[in-house]
Homo-oligomer: A and B are copies of this chain.
């Protein structure tokens, strides 16, 4: 079933809020998200800033201990202008460098504006245009900055951060066509989504991607009895796991441990094979290093598993057939 949902209010936390819609296993939801400052597709500020979330969506039959699969069907910027912050965050630079160049660091409050070209899939810097970058044009790559499910213990966690429930991971790999798996901590999973970026560098080191409102479409599936501990995902080429914490070293521990669990439970690898495969073939992508919790993603190419006779057909493939 396909639901068209028009949001009327948004949340700045991911939590056990009253659901805006009840949907079933296999349903598709078409809706929209406002940008990080609460501006909608008309540019109007309709809610409080800070990655406001559309939802939560209650998925029938999802219970704690299950896993919720969310396939990102479509992510489309739905207004002409997005914005970015202009300065690398202080904690991303050497502390002593900040002190010595503080006067030369650009004004942190004057935002940049970027024009969307959805047909060409490009973005163009349109303000200011008097820097060396001029009217720089870059490829568009729409991605979800912040999404997830209600955390454990009826917590309501700020959309500025992330944890095992997902949240503000700002990973460039959360693009159209990807399937994301979240551990379920509350009845109905209570899925939230927001904070669209037309483009973003690794780490979101200026504190923003190109912030923009989205039209989004996604499809949900409940994996009954499937236990997971951290967000997982897959695309055509990779399976991956995400660890969210600080410092990054700890993200690596979470993501790597989750991958070891996954390879052994679902992909038929004995411990020695799982460890050896990771040793020589693992790849890591860096999500957010701006927020209170950082994100690191641990990836394995599916072809490596296929080459040794392991079937990587999965929920993701079912989604792709839709």
A1 contacts partner chain B, Cβ-Cβ < 8 Å: no
CA of A224 to CA of B221, assembled, Å: 51
Report A259 CB to chain B, min CB distance, Å.
10
Q: Which one of B95, B154, B156 contacts A98 once the chains associate, using CB atoms below 8 Å?
A: B95
Partner pick for A205 among B87, B206, B246, B256, CB 8 A cutoff:
B256
Taking CB atoms, residues of chain B closer than 8 Å to A137 are: 307
Within 8 A of B (CB), among A126-174: 128, 131-134, 136-138, 152-158
Chain B neighbourhood of A76, CB < 8 A: none
Which one, B92, B104, B268, B275, contacts A206 given CB within 8 A?
B275
CB contacts under 8 Å to B, within A34-86, are 50, 84-86
**Docked CA distance A248–B295 (Å):** 12
CB–CB B133/A280 < 8 A: no
Chain B residues positioned under 8 Å from A85 (CB to CB): 279
Number of copies: 4
CB of A8 within 8 Å of the partner chain: no
Which of B246, B254, B278, B282 has a CB less than 8 Å from the CB of A250? B246
Q: A106-B271, A132-B273, A289-B249 are in contact. Are A90 and B84 (CB under 8 A)?
A: no
Residue contact B201 to A280, C-beta cutoff 8 Å? yes
Residue of B nearest to A151 (CB): B158
Residues of chain B contacted by A152 (CB below 8 angstroms): 158
Q: Is A284 an interface residue (CB 8 A)?
A: yes
Known: A202-B282, A205-B282, A308-B136. A153 touches B249 (CB 8 A): no
Report A147 CB to chain B, min CB distance, Å. Answer: 17
Bound CA span A260–B104, Å: 12
**By the criterion CB–CB under 8 Å, are B280 and A84 in contact?**
yes
Interface string of A246-284 (1 = CB under 8 A from B): 111110111011001000000011111101111111111
Q: Chain B residues near A279 (CB, 8 Å)?
A: 84-86, 88, 201, 205-206, 208
Q: Does A180 contact B (CB under 8 A)?
A: no
Chain B residues with CB under 8 Å of A153's CB are 12-13, 50, 158
CB-nearest residue of chain B relative to A283? B202
Task: Decide if A286 is an interface residue (CB 8 Å cutoff).
Answer: yes
Q: Tell me the A106-131 residues at the B interface (CB within 8 Å).
A: 106, 112, 125, 128, 131
Query: Nearest residue in B to A123 (C-beta to C-beta)?
Result: B280
CB neighbors of B among A275-316 (8 A): 275-284, 286, 289, 292, 294, 304, 307-308, 310
Q: Does A96 contact B (CB under 8 A)?
A: yes
Q: Are A277 and B133 in contact (CB under 8 A)?
A: yes
A99 interface contact, C-beta 8 A: yes
**Is A322 interfacial (CB-CB < 8 Å)?**
no
When distances are taken between beta carbons in the complex, the residues of chain B under 8 Å from A156 are: 13, 15, 154-156
A289 vs B253: C-alpha distance in the bound complex, in angstroms?
Answer: 11
Complex CA distance for A270 and B129, rounded to whole angstroms: 13
Instruction: Fill in one digit per residue for A21-43: 1 if any B CB lies within 8 Å of its CB, else 0.
Output: 00000000000000000000000
